[in-house]
Chain A
Amino acid sequence: MLIKRTALRIKKTDLNGNRMKASETTTQPLPQAMTLPRTNSTSWPEPPAQSLPEDDRLGSRDSAVSAGVDPVRACLTLLGELEVSLENSQKALLARDVAGIERETGAQRRLQQALREVCTKLSTPGRTPSQPREASKLRAAQLRVLHLGRVQMTLLEKARRSLRVCAHLLAGPGANYSAPLSAAAWMMASEMTASRRKEI
């Protein structure tokens, strides 16, 4: 069986989840070593999305913010990066890739901080988007980020529910159905037990 694997395509979707045209997809060479899930020949699994190295993203962001460029443009750039980061963290969340989740959450935190700075500039008189086209672009980008944020929130809630089930399962047969103890509470309980033993 011949399976073509000449290039890895990162598929992009629009706000409605429709796949973009072939001309709008970016193509990157297939990395040398890649861990793929078990093959099902009837549907070749999607390789993990290739996120940009964090440094590159931060570099473009810093240049956009600090170079004193148009705040609308800077805001659009940051929102675009936030979109990519949210999409990546959703994939990481679905694949239970803890490192990926942490990396993207860190990136999102930094982007949020940068966005706050740009937004402050944007709110000053004379810096608001003058062109209606710019304003609508900005609004569309904000709506996309808002939607992705909502999806992310739902996915996190689902993941939390799954983790709670796992925690109950791991708690063993003797446990009741109350929430498992946090690490701090667990330590405190252990210390109290130890001190009681000493007293006895």
Chain B
Amino acid sequence: MSSLNATLATALSGLIADQGALEATSNNVANANTPGYSREVPVLVASDPVVDDPLTLGTGVTLQSIQSITDPILESQIQQETQSQGQLSSLVSALSQTQVNFTSSTGDIGTAITNFFNSVNQLSTSPADLSLRQGVLTAADNLATAFNTTANNLTAQTTSLNQSVVQTVGQINQLTSQIAQLNGQIASLENVGESAGTFIDQRTQAIDQLSSLVDVSVIQSNNTLTLTTASGTALVAGQQSFQLTTQPVASGAQDIFAQGNDITSTIVSGQLGGVLQARDQQIPSIQNQLDTLAAGLANAVNGVQTAGYDLNGNLGTDLFNPPPANVTGAAASLSVAITDPSLIAASSDGTSGSNGNADAMYALNSQPIIDGQNPTDYYSGTVFNIGNAVSNATAEQNASSLVLQQLNDQNSAVSGVSLDEEAANMIQYQQAYAASAQVITSINDMLYDVVNMNTLTT
């Protein structure tokens, strides 16, 4: 038969367990609005019974642990979608900035091309008129300036994206160090059987932040965690973090290195992936199209110019300085080669009244001189491609936001704190605590009776 003291100990275990459970509930309520907090539930188990032949008597309850409620699959999905969101957000931002250079304005390339050919057309009406000749030179200069400005803006944007790469790598290193440190704290707590829920939540939040910066794969082992990039470059292994570095390469771009290896081309997701996509793919492609347009236009105009005669009856010379043979940098370096308006070769036969060559130059406007297209159409195609890329990336970003919102809602339904539920739990634990306290009071009364039994009987 169990003693009164044993029953007292059983009631006491109830008090302790309910107090612990109330602490968990209280912590949940306190963190109801904490971002990234996962609700905790007390895990109560019956204490080992004692056998007092022929009876097996319970010995109360033990608060085994306090468990954080999380869904690893949902968390993984959120991390993947966050990577996608980060990549699209930086890509949209970079492309929108690029697009500004191509919006219709008085100084844009499209307008400058139109103005140049209009001035040549006007010259053909009066080929000996010096003011009209000066107009052609001014329009050619404006065209060159428009190309230079746009190309320089794109180069400036590339430089800014390079700085962004360096900054993002710095943020990644900071987060990986933090995660390695949290890994250590979690391992030390779990090794002694303690709950590390709060640190796990902090680590999950840090991984989410890291996911928005770079593509991360999470490998979970016993009580530690390894992070790599999608291509397998180690970022964190247990309590050790591996720092990424940036170094300028021959092209002038800041490339990303991990333990001496250039991993730039393997990063495709997260903000870093978006920045790299804009810097290494989108902007160079636009620059290449601009260079092709500038070189094609300059060569075609020079070709017509050198086939005609200037106002002095001499063979024409180049109107634009010849672009580089491989067209790289043609837009940035485009410039007008002549300053004397009389050197414009409007004549096709050497007489000052002839406008044959001016007409031939004007006709270039509608000839397929650049990759099978006329200059205006080629430029319109470039602008369309940029606009289309921005629209597609924006739509993808919106879709990604919707999916992320849905996943976050699902996650908060699993891990979020429900104040209604916590209120019910609180009442439940409070009543259980009160009941255990009542048992102790009853046992106290019984012990009092036992202690005073002798007095009563005498």
> Interface residues, chain A, CB within 8 Å of chain B?
1, 17, 37-43, 45, 90, 94-95, 146-147, 150-155, 158
Contact = CB atoms under 8 A, between A and B. Distances in A.
A43 B416 CA distance: 9
Across chains A and B, which 4 residue pairs bring their CB atoms closest together, nearest first?
A150-B395, A154-B399, A41-B419, A40-B416
B392 A150 contact: yes
- The winner among A17, A94, A154, A158 for most chain B CB atoms within 10 A is A154
A37 B413 contact: yes
Contacts of B412: 40, 42-43
Interface stretch (B102-110, B150-158, B256-264, B402-410): B402-410
B423 interface: yes
Contact of A151 (B32, B399, B418, B423): B399
Given A1-B420, A151-B399, A155-B403, A40 B391 contact: no
Nearest to A162: B77
Contacts of B403: 94, 155, 158
Interface in B24-42: 32-33
B394 interface: yes
24 contacts: A1-B420, A1-B423, A17-B398, A38-B418, A39-B420, A41-B417, A41-B419, A41-B420, A42-B416, A45-B409, A45-B413, A94-B402, A94-B406, A95-B406, A147-B391, A147-B395, A150-B395, A151-B396, A151-B398, A151-B402, A154-B395, A155-B402, A158-B399, A158-B403
A154 B395 CA distance: 8
A153 B394 CA distance: 13
Nearest to B88: A154
Nearest to B407: A94
Contacts of B406: 94-95
Contacts of B33: 42
Contacts of A37: 409, 413
Interface residues of B, number: 23
B118 to A, nearest CB: 26
Interface of B: 32-33, 391-392, 394-396, 398-403, 406, 409, 412-413, 416-420, 423
A40 B409 CA distance: 9
Contacts of B413: 37-38, 40, 45
Contacts of B402: 90, 94, 151, 155
B399 A41 contact: no
B89 to A, nearest CB: 13
Contacts of A17: 398, 401
Nearest to B415: A40
A95 B403 CA distance: 10
A17 B396 CA distance: 13
A42 B423 contact: no
B32 A42 contact: yes
A56 to B, nearest CB: 26
A1 B33 CA distance: 16
B396 A39 contact: no
Nearest to A93: B402
Contacts of B392: 150
B123 to A, nearest CB: 35
A17 B397 CA distance: 11
A155 B399 contact: yes
B179 to A, nearest CB: 26
A38 B402 CA distance: 19
A52 to B, nearest CB: 21
A126 B379 CA distance: 32
B395 A41 contact: no
Most chain B CB within 10 A, of A39, A45, A90, A95, is at: A39
B351 to A, nearest CB: 48
A151 B32 CA distance: 33
Contacts of B409: 37, 45
Given A1-B423, A37-B409, A41-B32, 13 more contacts: A38-B418, A39-B418, A40-B412, A41-B419, A90-B402, A94-B403, A150-B391, A150-B396, A151-B395, A151-B396, A151-B398, A151-B402, A155-B399
Contacts of B423: 1
Nearest to A149: B395
A154 B402 CA distance: 11
Contacts of B400: 154
Contacts of A152: 399
Contacts of A147: 391, 394-395, 398
Contacts of B398: 17, 147, 151, 154
Contacts of B399: 151-152, 154-155, 158
Nearest to B419: A41
B78 to A, nearest CB: 14
Nearest to A159: B403
A91 B400 CA distance: 13
A146 B412 CA distance: 32
A40 B416 CA distance: 6
A55 B1 CA distance: 77
Contacts of B32: 41-42
B91 to A, nearest CB: 14
